[in-house]
Amino acid sequence: MQTNRYTFLQTGFLNKASLLAIVCFVLLAAGSAMAQSTGFKTIGQQFDQHRKKALQEKLYLHIDRPVYACGETMWFKLYNVDGTLHQPLDMSKVAYIEVLDDAKQAVLQAKVALKEGTGNGSFILPATLKSGNYKVRAYTNWMKNFSPEFYFEQPITIVNTFQKLEAPEKTVAAGYTIQFFPEGGNMVAGIENKIAFKAINQKTGKGIDFTGELHDQYGTKIADFKPYKFGMGHFTFTPSKGATYTATVKLAADRGFVKPLPAVFEQGYALNLNEDGAERLKITINQVGQTGEQVYLLGHTRQMIAVAEEATINQGQATFIVDKNVLADGITHFTIFNTQQKPVAERLYFKQPTQKLELKLLPDKSQYTTRDKVTLDLLANADNTASTANLSMAVYRLDSLQGATDSNIESYFWLTSDLKGTIENPAYYFSALGKTDAAAIDNLMLTHGWSRFKWEDIINKEPAAYSYLPEYNGHFIKGKVTHKSTGAPAPGIKTYLGSPGKHIRFYNARSDANGAIQFEAKDFFGEKDIVVQSDFSKDSTFHFEIYSPFSDKYAASKVAAFDLSEELKQEVTLRHVQTQVQQAYFGNYTNLFKPAGVDSISFYGIPSESYLLDDYKRFKVMEEVMREYVPGVQVRKRGGNFRFMVFNRAHKSIFQDNPMVLLDGVPVFDIDKIMAFDPLKVKKLDVVTSLYFNGPLVYNGVVSYTTYTGDLAGFELNPRALLQAYDGLQLQREFYAPAYESPEQKQSRLADLRNLLYWAPDLTIPSGKGKQVNFYTSDQPGTYLIVVQGLTENGVMGSKAVTFSVKQPVL
């Protein structure tokens, strides 16, 4: 264009009209280019706004071992991090943990408290569970705004040794499948395309080995291909316009199947990424059907923009050179946009993390005897940074049922949490060999592309409104208020939730336009009864409903088929004996819980007046109690009904309306009923003699009665109130293991067949420092695995596993 314009101007043969037309054309072209540039800039701005609004949380669970017998305890440690920087995130204070069966039904559920991004919990596996493969999943309330594919999931196996194992079904031929993934997204005619593939055994989900041939519609062989690792690989070829292609997959024993490749596009974009030396990447865009078009490259790593460049397609091609040093560690998404701001090609690239938490496990011996003391030196070094590592450790026996897990905290945060589909042996990519296996990691990027968002939800769209808020302070108990007669939502209703107990916890809410209510229940631990009601003396009759806080959405992934070989019968029998022995000799230690560490002061703090009724003359009538020694409350009668009038000491006046009256934390709106209650059942009486602000509501003082038992002591609730059992946050169970320090302890006749020797969810070690850990072996010889993993406050993560052996002592 510039060459032609220069020639025209030099010849002097242009008239004024022609010159004006050219000037207008140049100005329009410049304006178009500016508009394109502005549009491309807008993509980056909108993307950054989305990232800030849609903060991502990632949860990882360190589960103590992969296989359990019913009756055993599953232990786990939670790590909650910022999905962008992988630093511990102290946003959500509650995590939801579930064990799902193969039908995606929850068989166990728990709410676990999080503090500064960590927490821990446990499940005792009941004998009602059937043998099979299960999934453990974890998420926060905020994560429910996004796809359940983002929830943490890990497979486990549970064997019910109390039930006879079902006879295996007749052997069914395993199903095999292969998928093809053109680099960038589409196969385009006339351009050399890189085609990645992944072939798996559908029963196990594992990659398969095979040989393959690519044929066109005439049966002509175009290429041979075979997997490189884990059933994945790639090949290149140039598809022809109008052609169709089929892959023939050949397995062992003359088995095989055919699979068509994706359709060939006559026009479109093809993306190709290659290493351009040690420090650069070369991204080539080939386009068929148009030339002179501007394209835009946006590269982001966990939604942090690293690359934003424009280029012009010249002779069907545009090239971008990317400096690897500008890319953050982990997976970078490279997306190509056309002039209409539509994404037309995408490619993933993985950069190995440059920082790692180096962990060293140094047992004092390589071999131990039964009931022997193990002294382990644990060292942590986060690349000489002055940070503290928060770690968890499990020590369990390896046997024919269970081995080492194929994932860890590194593989989850760097890979699994950001890729679609099941990754076979993700820990491989962080092993000494896997870190240098560029072909394997690139095949993974080509076959597991995925984004935590859809571009159409970002570009030129208003920020999404999220239904689930982060639980910054405590667990949200949600429900709904409806009119009992019609079932219609009841908006604007003052609703109260109390939980009978000695520690007064009381919450309130006002229903919204849809009748929804939400109570922020801070420090709500253990199994409790809750009472939900309104002030029935003022309001009409309402129906109250409390929802389950657990997610009703599930990821598409399935658990692998359960197949317990008859050859493992001896190991299953041993597990049964181990479980029964542990229950018989150490069952008393199963339900030892750590104190919740919550403030025992009532929600209203220190009251203006407080009375321990045993310190005064005991009256048999509540009216005498209130009149004789509770000066902060005046008792009056109006229309034959009792009223309480609390002194407003701050303003030296008297409130004319009733205060909030509580019995063991449950509101009582009928003063006559509390006056008829037996005062000999009341241990304590508190009075707040001022306005009290509680959430959206204000009370004319508070009068709070606490019984000796904390369970309402027979007080009859209003029949219109909702009374139901509710599980609060899980109390932390204490891990118990016997010690054999003295000769007498070693000679104890109590059998010790522990499969799990040690579990420590909270080990903190400053970087560059060490910590000594001690535990004892059991009566069970074998090979044991020590697994330690965790991360620092700066988000540097690491894991380590070592083995040691236990032998019977030589007599």
Q: Which two tokens stand for residue 197?
A: 């593939």
Residue where a domain terminates, one of 695, 727, 759 = 727
Q: Which two tokens stand for residue 561?
A: 């088929």
As to burial, measured by CB atoms within 10 angstroms (0-12 exposed, 13-18 middle, 19+ buried), residue 685 is buried
Q: SS3 of 710, please?
A: coil
> Taking the chain (811 residues) in consecutive chunks of 10 residues, what is each chunk's mean pLDDT?
31 38 37 51 78 87 96 97 94 97 96 96 96 96 94 96 68 76 94 96 90 95 96 96 95 87 94 94 90 89 91 93 95 92 92 92 94 96 81 96 92 93 93 94 91 71 82 96 93 94 88 95 92 86 94 91 82 90 87 82 90 94 94 91 92 92 95 95 95 89 95 93 95 94 92 95 90 96 96 94 94 71
**Distance (Å, whole) CA 753 – CA 740:** 14
> Same structural domain for residues 690 and 614?
yes
> Same structural domain for residues 618 and 710?
yes
Query: What is the residue range of 233's domain?
Result: 176-265
* Assigned domain for 80 exists: yes
**Distance (Å, whole) CA 231 – CA 210:** 8
Q: SS3 of 561, please?
A: coil
Q: What is the CATH number of the domain that holds 65?
A: 2.60.40.1930
Q: What is the CATH number of the domain that holds 680?
A: 2.170.130
- Torsions phi, psi for 573 (to 5 deg): -65, -40
> Which three-class secondary structure string do you get for 77-90?
EEEEEECCCCCECC
Reading phi first (left if > 0) and then psi (alpha if -120 to 50, else beta), residue 85 is in: alpha
> Same structural domain for residues 181 and 92?
no
The residue whose two tokens read 């909030």 is 660
* Assigned domain for 390 exists: no
Cβ proximity of 561 and 204 under 8 Å: yes
Q: SS3 of 241, please?
A: coil
**Distance (Å, whole) CA 775 – CA 773:** 7
* Assigned domain for 581 exists: yes
Residue where a domain terminates, one of 712, 727, 742 = 727
> Same structural domain for residues 96 and 184?
no
> Same structural domain for residues 130 and 181?
no
* Assigned domain for 40 exists: no
Q: Which two tokens stand for residue 464?
A: 């999404």
pLDDT tens digits, one per residue of 71-124: 999 999 999 999 999 999 999 999 999 999 999 999 999 999 999 999 999 999
DSSP letter for 575, please.
H
> Same structural domain for residues 100 and 187?
no
Q: SS3 of 743, please?
A: helix
Count of Cβ atoms closer than 10 Å to residue 808 Cβ: 10
* Assigned domain for 360 exists: no
> Same structural domain for residues 703 and 646?
yes
Q: What pLDDT does residue 7 have?
A: 29
Q: Which helix (H) or strand (E) holds 628?
A: helix 622-629
Q: What pLDDT does residue 407 have?
A: 93
CA-based radius of gyration for the chain = 34
> Same structural domain for residues 254 and 148?
no
Side-chain half-sphere exposure of 154, counting CA atoms within 13 A: 25
Residue where a domain terminates, one of 215, 243, 265 = 265
CA-to-CA separations, 288 to 244, 268, 339, in angstroms, rounded: 18, 5, 15
- Nearest CA to 371 out of 738, 760, 734, 736 is that of 738
Q: SS3 of 148, please?
A: helix
The single-letter code of the amino acid at 775 is F
> Same structural domain for residues 155 and 237?
no
> Same structural domain for residues 65 and 162?
yes
> Same structural domain for residues 620 and 709?
yes
- Torsions phi, psi for 651 (to 5 deg): -115, 10
**Sign of the CA dihedral running 676, 679, 682, 687:** positive
DSSP letter for 719, please.
T
Q: What pLDDT does residue 9 have?
A: 28
**Which residues 6+ apart lie within 8 Å of 261 measured at CB?**
180, 187, 195, 214, 244, 245, 246, 247
* Assigned domain for 506 exists: no
Q: What pLDDT does residue 173 have?
A: 52
**Which residues 6+ apart lie within 8 Å of 569 measured at CB?**
none
Tally the domains of the chain: 3
Q: What pLDDT does residue 31 have?
A: 42
> Same structural domain for residues 153 and 226?
no
**Distance (Å, whole) CA 17 – CA 21:** 6
* Assigned domain for 601 exists: no
**Distance (Å, whole) CA 290 – CA 477:** 57
Q: In this structure, what is the dihedral angle of CA atoms 438, 439, 441, 444, given to the nearest 10 degrees?
A: 170
What's the chain's length in residues? 811
User: What are 137's strand-pairing partners?
Assistant: 98, 153
* Assigned domain for 746 exists: no
The residue whose two tokens read 């045993």 is 614
User: What are 109's strand-pairing partners?
Assistant: 98
**Sign of the CA dihedral running 106, 108, 114, 118:** negative
**Which residues 6+ apart lie within 8 Å of 73 measured at CB?**
122, 123, 124, 125, 590, 733
